[in-house]
Structure 1
Amino acid sequence: MTTQTLNAAILGASGYTGAETIRLLAHHANVRVGAITANAQAGRSLGDLFPHLHPFADRTLVKAEDVNWDGVDVAFGCLPHGASEELLGELPAHVTVIDLSADFRFRDPSAYATVYGRSHLHPEKTRNAVYGLTEFARAELAKKPDIIACPGCYPTATLLAIKPLVEAGVVSPRDIIVDAKSGVSGAGRGLKEGNLFCETAEGLHAYSVGNHRHAPEIEQELSHASGAPVLVNFTPHLVPMTRGELVTCHVKLANGATVDDVRATLEQRYADEAFIKLAPKGASPDTRWVRGSNLCILAVFPDRIPGRVIVVGVIDNLVKGSGGQAIQNMNVAFGLPESQGLTMEPLFP
């Protein structure tokens, strides 16, 4: 049992991602939460913004520029894209950066520029960052890289569902359709008309149809897995619930594989994983099964169209799709038990 204690800074604590990361770290035996920043809210207490974070309610929020980085081991970047690269790319070399924004997810800086409409300020850093889909990146994470880029919530759920299948060659990488649905917290805490209660309650709609920013991220990772360029038909939908995410992946069987082969591939790949589970045959996962937890639950179904299969996955977008995966990556990078601080059961009902 390790007695190592890490000093963690939380950058951008006024949003849901920052708050959830703090909530999870409160139960981590090997982490002390140090500086907590929120530039626009500097001088206020964290409890003013998030009364539920009782252990840290009296902590004063500071500006990132006022953080003393001496003694800080790890920085969780919970900032919007653009703001992350400006700050995190300039931190002292001794600080391990775990970025929850999109700023370091693309290995090719030109891809980032295409998707996010701005040139990357630190192209070499994004080339060398580790894409932190934990279950597929342990060897790289164990080297304690300078920057760990946590995947987006949609890519996390989608890749956990179908990346092993592409790697194993049991599905075609050329005919992938992903229907995704997320709770409103995935859009962040910023005040936007489209996220107001009266705009989202009792309704369901697709958004960013045909051009969502997570599609190229998914394609990057599946292309790497298949060894050839992959395109994904990806359509997200906003669901009137607080948190939770469900992806329904429609794929074509390949190389003579059957639906049973697909399930067996996932069972074998995730047999020893603490956070990836397969639902019983015939059971369709519900986002309530993972609410508040770091779990991902998958299920495999035959399609009525011959030669096709459907894989369903659910995660909590704020935990496995955000703060939980970030902490899981930290645990691996610093040689801590991977499940440390993340063993809570889902909340139900």
Structure 2
Amino acid sequence: MKQTLSWFQVITLSSSSYLPLMFWFFPRIAVEQAGLDALWAVLGVVIVGVITGWIIGLNNERFPKATGADMSRVVWGKWIGTAVDVLYFPVYLCFTALCIFFFVTVLNSFFPNTPLWILVVTLCLVAARGAWLGIESLARVASIIHPFTWLGIVVIFLVLLFQAHRLWIPHTVTSWTNTINGIYHLYPLYFGFDIVLMLNPYYQHKKRQSVWYPIISTIAGGVIIVVVSLAVILNLGWEATRDISFSLPFAIQLLRLTGSPVERVGIFIIILATAFTVLFVSNAIWALSTLTARIFNMSGDKYKWFISPVAILTMIVACSFRNEQQAFQFLDKYLVPLSWVVLLSIPLLLWMTAKLRGLKTEPVPSQRTET
């Protein structure tokens, strides 16, 4: 495959492929599961996220010509490898659908008379069009949308943070058990980061440099996670953060920029979040379509054959959630444990097995040349 993505595009594209699952309410999950150690749990999950990026980066550097779907078959053989690849499809389909459901639930507060299914279908159709255009187009869009979204969120929530009446931050851990429990339930924030494995053949691998791309991405995402959690918890307090389902949009309403050209900051955040979410869903549809093509031993370039089925299945699953409670239960019961399997356990086992067996490939000469 021809490598076309720059280092900046790889970082922004991978950075726009996680966080949406729990972005609107993760401070509530942190407080609910870790109590007064919520901020330590947030810091802990950021560290685990960086480790995840490092492991995925190591796998990519061992097999620079392979997609994630190909690596498992090279390391574990055709049958086991294919079974692992097939496992990813329903997991990430449900993950994407749940992300869409949570986002349109938040969006519905701005469009109360619009049925949720219309928002779901509209979002998926736009995202499917983006996936159809291919990874190069998605990378160009990500290189524009992600920096603006990252900067907008960081600046707005830093202002909200320093608006808090008390900047009280715990300096000791009250319970390691609660902290670990919080980290366990927060890890789905990084669900979707496996797209870096699918991006692998599309960028140039440079010695001691390209392994840092996923690490830099998770550090950038970690900055958002820490700043947002601090701003929300310190403004709402522990009790209110735990009791409000979507604590982040509620906290935004506390921000007032009198005299600013954009006084209704919530609208500005929603605009950024909509662009980010459409890009995120496009990335997911492209990745699932490419994965399906590789499962059937077709070239990754044949991904377009599967975009429509993947988009339709995503709409159906997203519309199948009847209410927020059911969606939260699905997240807690299935996606929380599965995140530790597909994000950390499988890539770690893949790397360890490849290391022990001495399996490694080198880029072909054309791939060593910068494009």
What is the TM-score of this pair, normalised by structure 2?
Answer: 0.24
Of structures 1 and 2, the one scoring higher in RCO (CA 8 A, sep 6+) is: 2
- Larger relative strand fraction: 1
